[in-house]
Structure 1
Amino acid sequence: MFIRNHQGPQYREFIAAIARKKNARGYLEVGVRDGGTLAGIGCEAIGVDPEFKIRYDILANKNAVHLYSKTSDEFFRDHDPRVILGRSPDVIFLDGLHQFEYLLRDFINSERIAHRDSLILLDDCLPINAEMTERVYNQAGRRDRENAPSWTGDVWKMIPILKTYRPDLHITLVDTRPTGTVCLTNLDPSSTVLRDRYYQILQDYILEEMDEAGIEQFYASNPVASGDVILHEFNASLFVGP
C-alpha cells in the first residue's frame, strides 16, 4: 500500500504562522469544529460551522470573533464577510465537508469576497493513502488501521480542477501534517469561470476515484513544497506557481 506521510509542520501551526507573516487583519474559517485552528489566529475572525464543538480559547489575541452556526452555503447566501469585518479577509481557511463539490462551492464563494492579495487555504487535499479518499467515510473497512480514523474524502480533486479551469491561480501544495494544505494566491474575485462551469465540473469529476496507482501518479505530477521552508523564508514569490 502506498503511504505518503507528510513531514512538515502541523497544519494548525502552519496556518497560524502564515496569518501572522501576512499581517492578516481579517480571517474567515469554514469548518471550525473544536476551534483549534481559529484559536491560533490573532486578528478579527469569522467562524462558520453547522455544529460547533468549541474546546479552545478562540477569543485569544482577537478583538472580535463572529460565529455563524450554519452551513457554508447558508452563510455565503445570507452574509457578506466584507460587511462583517469591514474589509475582505486577508486569509481564508476552508475545512468543511470532505466532498469536492462542497469545497468547490466554498472556494467560489470565498474568492468572490476576497481581494487579489488574499490567501485561500484548502485543507485535506493531500491524502496519505488511497483509502481515505472515499466519498463516504468507512473507517471499519480500512486495511491501514493506523490511519483509519483519518478521512479526506475526494477533495483532492480540487487540485486538477483548479489547474484545468483556473491556470491563472498560483497553487502551492504544502507538506503539513497530517493531510496537507493547498495555498491559493493570485486570486481574481471577478472570475466566474468555476461558477459558470460548476455543473459540468461535477459531471466530469464525480465518478473519479483514487486507487493505489492513482495516488502515486498524483504525487508524481504534483510537487509538494516544504512548509518549514515557506515559514522560514516567507515571501510572496514562494506562492508563485510554474
Structure 2
Amino acid sequence: MARTYMEIGVRDGSTLAMIDCAAIGVDPHFQFNSNPIGTKPSLFLYQKTSDQFFRDHDVRAISGDTLDVVFLDGLHQFEYLLRDFMNSEKNCHRHSLIMLDDCLPVNAEMTERRHNASQRRDQNYAGWWTGDVWKIIPILKKYRKDLHITLVDTSPTGTVCITNLNPSSTVLEDNYYKIIQEFRGISMTDESIEKFYQEHDIVSSQAVMSGFDASLTAGP
C-alpha cells in the first residue's frame, strides 16, 4: 500500500480525491469542485508550475520520505513531461511507481502541440488533446533501458506505468538538450500512429489491476 503520493496537474482534484495516503498536489490553477482531502492524513497543495515547485521545494522534506506513487498529468508538451519525470524520479525509490497520463493518442490530430479543437477534421475527438507527450515512450526506451515500462489502455488516452526506477540516474539530465533537439521536430501522422501501436504492446487495465504487483514491479 502506498504511503506517499504526488500528483502534477491536479486540475479539479478528481484523481487526487481518490487517494487516501499522505499526498502532494501541484497545479498552476486549481479548479476544485469537491473536497480533495478525504481521509488523507496530510495534503500539501502548491499552486504553481511544476518547474517552480521542484525549484523551490524539497519534496522529501514535505512528504517525510521518498514517494511511493507519482501521477504526472501536467502540460501536454513532451519537454515538460520529461522534466517532470526526471524531477519525480529523484524523489522516488526503486520500487516506486510513476504514471504518465495521456501518452496513447486515439488519432494523430490530438497530438498537436497546441490544442486547436475548431480546426480538427475529426470533431468527434476535437475535445481530446494529448499533445506530443507520446514521445516520452520512445525517449525512455532509448535512453533508459533499465526502466520497466508498461503501456495501459486506460480511458480515454492511456497511462504509462514505470517502475524499476533509479533516483541516482543522471542519464536524462545529462542528455536533456540532446533529447529535445532529437525529438522536437518529430510529429505524429495517421501512418506513424499506426506504426506506433504496432511497435508497442498495450496491456489492458483490467489485466494490470488483477495482477498489479506482478505487472508493475517486476524487473525489465
State the TM-score bracket (shorter-chain normalisation): over 0.9
Which of 106, 109, 121 is equivalent to 1:128?
A: 106
Instruction: Note if contact 1:26-1:44 (Cα within 8 Å) is conserved in structure 2.
Output: yes
Aligned counterpart, 2:46: 68
User: Higher relative contact order by CA 8 Å / sep ≥ 6: 1 or 2?
Assistant: 1
Aligned counterpart, 1:26: 4
> CA 1:107–1:238 in 2, change beyond 3 Å: closer, same or farther?
closer
Structure with the largest fraction of strand: 2
After TM superposition, list the pairs within 5 Å mapping 1:84-233 onto structure 2: 84-233=62-211
Deviation at 1:146, TM superposition (A): 1.1
Contiguous gaps of at least 5 residues in structure 2: none
What is the total number of aligned residue pairs between the two structures? 220
> CA 1:24–1:70 in 2, change beyond 3 Å: closer, same or farther?
same
Deviation at 1:53, TM superposition (A): 0.5
Q: Which runs of 4+ in 1 moved over 6 A?
A: none
Instruction: Note if contact 1:171-1:239 (Cα within 8 Å) is conserved in structure 2.
Output: no
Q: Distance in 2 between matches of 1:51 and 1:111?
A: 24
Instruction: Note if contact 2:161-2:216 (Cα within 8 Å) is conserved in structure 1.
Output: no
Deviation at 1:56, TM superposition (A): 2.5
Deviation at 1:234, TM superposition (A): 2.1
Which digits, 9 at most, give the CA deviation of each residue in 1:145-182, with x for residues without a partner? 11100100000000000000000000000000000000
Contiguous gaps of at least 5 residues in structure 1: 1-22
Aligned counterpart, 1:16: none
Q: % of aligned pairs identical? A: 61
Q: Distance in 1 between matches of 2:18 and 2:171?
A: 33
Which digits, 9 at most, give the CA deviation of each residue in 1:47-75, with x for residues without a partner? 00011101132111211110001110010
Q: Distance in 2 between matches of 1:34 and 1:40?
A: 12
Deviation at 1:238, TM superposition (A): 4.5
Deviation at 1:202, TM superposition (A): 0.4
SS in 1 for 2:125: coil
**TM-score (structure 1 length as normaliser):** 0.89
Letter in 1 for 2:207: V
